[in-house]
Amino acid sequence: MRIILVEDEPLSLRLLQVTLTGWGYDVVPVTNGVDAWRLLEQNDQPTLALIDWMMPGMDGLELCRRVRANGREPYVYLVLLTERQAPGDNVLGLKSGADDFMTKPFDDEELRARLKAGERIVSLHAELVAARDAMRTLAIVDPLTGLPNRSAILHTLTKEMSRARREVAQLAVAMVDIDHFKQINDAHGHLAGDAVLREVATRMQGALRTYEAAGRFGGEEFLLILPACDREKGVLVAERIRSAVAGKTIDIAGSSIAVTCSIGVAAMNGGERVAPLDLVSAADTALYQAKADGRNRVATHDAHRATVQG
Ligand code: GH3
Ligand code: MG
Ligand code: MG
Ligand code: MG
């Protein structure tokens, strides 16, 4: 484990470095607070620090304060070393953000035990952060396709629509639904069906530009967000997606599966006030139209008229 050792006194620094190295630590020796702060600010910082209180320039207290104010992850466990023993010093040290302190001269074994306690805190914190990040990912990513899930893509839609309104820009959405997907499941099994969903997601993403987004809206339905597209441009993008999906068969476990999809497109005009779900619902209506007209095609819809192409 890496530990940053901050001590302005060369002999103490050397002695402590030898001791810590003997205990198996990978020691990063630093002789002043400013250099230590520069190091601790970085991303791959050590997560354990042994810091002398009394140093010229930035002292140990100030260093602790800065590390805490910075609040970055992973958590850095700070142990202050002090020769001072005035009443209230300990309180001051802890208040500045130190997790623990040792008064010089100290017992080596006690220091070792306290550093071990620090390591436990650091690894507990790392586990918590990893668990929290995993939960965050689960909350927004569809585990099967890796695309944003329904709530994440609707969140993006809400943001993009308010931006389009603000900037008086165009925005189109497309609802994509795989044709006769139930038959694919029935003929090849659910695992093959899952693989088809993954491949369709990959093909769609490959056909979209970086500022366009696709999410899994539900079962075999995907929502696309197409900024800077009016209805006509939205249809062109949807057509590109449709042919990317239908262009060649999907080969799974020895079977060549022909997959097509139907797509409904709707758009808002710049500055227009439309609720996100109303736009989705218009795209849905267009999708039903595309299905009714024979599938494997793109249709559009707005409040006043519906047109079909394909
Ligand atoms: P249509 O052309 O009218 O859209 O017909 P369809 O068969 O695609 O539509 P339907 O709504 O009847 O069936 C959708 C099927 O999608 C039913 C459901 O079992 C399947 N499905 C939904 N989610 C998943 C999934 O995650 N994996 C697999 N393998 N199948 C799924
Ligand atoms: Mg000192
Ligand atoms: Mg469906
Ligand atoms: Mg379907």
Read off the pLDDT of residues 232-283 as tens digits, 9 standing for 90 and up: 999 999 999 999 999 999 999 899 999 999 999 999 987 788 899 999 999 9
- The answer to pTM > 0.85 is no
Q: Quick one: pLDDT band at residue 89, thresholds 50, 70, 90?
A: confident
* In the predicted structure, residue 88 carries a pLDDT above the cut 60: yes
Of 21-25, 91-95, 269-273, give the lowest mean pLDDT range.
269-273
Ligand 1, CB within 6 Å, residue ranges: 144, 177-182, 185, 190, 193-194, 197, 219-220, 291, 295
- Nearest-atom number in ligand 1 for the CA of 192 is 29
Measured from the Cβ of residue 180, the count of other Cβ atoms closer than 10 Å reads: 15
Q: Which tokens in the block code for residue 142?
A: 């569809």
Q: Quick one: pLDDT band at residue 302, thresholds 50, 70, 90?
A: confident
Nearest protein Cα to ligand 1, atom 21 = 219
Q: Can you list the positions of beta strands (E) in the chain?
A: 2-6, 26-30, 48-52, 77-82, 100-103, 171-178, 213-218, 221-227, 250-252, 255-257, 261-268, 298-301, 306-309
220 has catalytic annotation: yes
Q: Which of 220, 232, 239, 272 is catalytic?
A: 220
- DSSP-H helix ranges across 51-188: 60-70, 89-95, 108-140, 150-166, 181-188
For all residues of the chain together, what is the average pLDDT?
94
Between the CA of 177 and the centroid of ligand 3 the distance, in Å, is 5
What count of residues does the chain have?
310
248-257 contact pairs (CB < 8 A, 24+): 250/195, 250/196, 250/199, 250/200, 252/188, 252/192, 252/195, 252/196, 252/199, 253/188, 253/192, 255/188, 255/192, 257/184, 257/188, 257/192, 257/196
Between the CA of 259 and the centroid of ligand 3 the distance, in Å, is 14
Q: What is the pLDDT of residue 84?
A: 67
Measured from the Cβ of residue 237, the count of other Cβ atoms closer than 10 Å reads: 21
Between the CA of 90 and the centroid of ligand 2 the distance, in Å, is 16
CA-nearest of 263, 247, 257 to 310 is 263
Q: Which tokens in the block code for residue 134?
A: 């995993």
User: Nearest ligand, CA of residue 104?
Assistant: 2
* In the predicted structure, residue 310 carries a pLDDT above the cut 80: no
